[in-house]
Amino acid sequence: MTTYPLELLDLDDALTAEERGIRDVVRELVASRVRPYVADWYEQGRAPVRELAAEFGRVGLLGMHLTGYGCAGASATAYGLACLELEAGDSGVRSLASVQGSLAMYAIWRYGSEEQKQRWLPSMAAGTTVGCFGLTEPDHGSDPASMTTRARRDGTDWVLDGGKMWITNAPVADVAVIWARTDDGVRGFVVPMSTPGVTAREIRRKMSLRASSTGEIVLDDVRLPAEAQLPGAVGLKAPLSCLTEARFGIVWGALGAARDCLHTALEYATTREQFGRPIAGFQLTQAKLADMAVELQKGYLLALHLGRLADAGRLRPEQVSVGKLNNVREALAIARQCRTILGANGISGEYPLLRHANNLESVLTYEGTSEVHQLVIGQRLTGISAFTG
C-alpha cells in the first residue's frame, strides 16, 4: 500500500476544517477541468484562459484572499492551498489565477481609488474580466527601477509610451495594470486593453508554461484620463509589494507540482517491474522517494508557517523570499528526480513529469530569480545590500 506524499507526517492535522474544505473544492475542480486536458493544452501551446477564468470566478478563486468587491475574503493559508492544488494541475493554470488575483486585482484593491475598485474588481473576481500586470520590460526584468516605459502629463491626461514583456494573460486581457516612470517617480495606471495605442502580441515557441497565455504589450502614445492613475501607488515599493503577494502563492504552488510528480513516481514505481519485481522494491529507488518526500514535507511546513504569519499580519518580504527560493528549487529537483524513476516514460506527455519540470524552470526565475531572492535574504542577514556597486 502506497502513502500519499503529504500523508507521511499527517500534515492535514495542521489545517482547519475550512482550509481542508477549500483545498478539496479546488482539487476537485482541477481533477475535472484541468487534468483531462492539460497535456493537450501544453502540446498545443494554448489554453482556454477566459473559460478557465470564468470557472475559477464561479468558485471564488480569483482574488480570494482579498475582501469586499465580490472577493471571497479567505485566509492567506487557504489561498496558498488553492495555489498548491492549481499548480498540481499545471504551473500555467496557477499563473492565471495568481496574476489575476495577486498582481492585477491586488494592485487595484490596495492602491486604487474607490471608483477603480468598483469598476474593475467585481468582474475580475467573477472571472468575466481578465487582468494582467505590466512591470517587466524587454531589457529590465530583475531591475525594475531601470524601466524605460514613461508616463508624461499632457494637460489633465497622462500619455504612456514604452513596452512590457513576458506578461501573463496579456494577449487575452481586458485590463492591464501598467507601471511607468514619471517625473515624480514610478506610478501605476489602470489601462483598458482596448485603449488606442495599446497592442498585445502572443509570445510563441515557448518551451515552458505552454498552457498559459504570455505576451508583449506595446504602448504607443497611449492617452489616459487622470483617473486612470492608481492614487495610492507612489514609488517602486508599490509594484514590489504586489510581487510579494504573488510570490507567496508561488511558495505554495511549486509544492503542488512537486507533489504531483512524486505521486506519479510512487504509483509508477510500485507497478513497473524490472528484474522480476517492482522497481519500488529496489534500495536506490526507495532512497530517491524517501529524500523527495522529506523535502516535500519540509517545503509544506515552511509554506504553512509563512501562511500563518501572513494571516497574523506579520509576514515580511524577505520571509517570502526564503519560501520561494527553497520551495521552487526543491520542487524542480523533485520533478527532475521523478523523471529518472520513470526512465524513458518520464519524457512522455502521457505523464506530467517533464511538463512540470519545464514549467518550474520558468517559476524558478519569474517573480524574482533565485539569485535575487538570495540577495534579499543576504541583505537581511548582513544589513548590506549587494544589488548595486
Query: Which residues lie across from 176 on neighbouring strands?
Result: 132, 191
| DSSP assignment letter at 282 | S
Q: Would you give the DSSP letter of residue 200?
A: E
Annotated catalytic residue 367 = yes
CB under 8 Å to 119, separation ≥6 — which residues?
A: none
Which has the closest alpha carbon to 124: 78, 165, 177, 83?
Answer: 177
Q: What are the Cα distances from residue 320, in Å, to 23, 271, 324, 340?
A: 21, 39, 6, 30
Cell of 183: 517625473
Which of 379, 380, 200 lies closest to 389, judged by CA?
Answer: 379
Answer for the pair 246, 102: CB distance below 8 angstroms, yes or no: yes
Whole-number Å distance between alpha carbons of 177 and 135:
8
SS (H, E, C) 324-348: HHHHHHHHHHHHHHHHHHHHHHHHC
Which one of the listed residues 87, 245, 295, 367 is annotated catalytic? 367
Set of cell numbers at residue 231? 492614487
Q: Which residues are catalytic?
A: 367
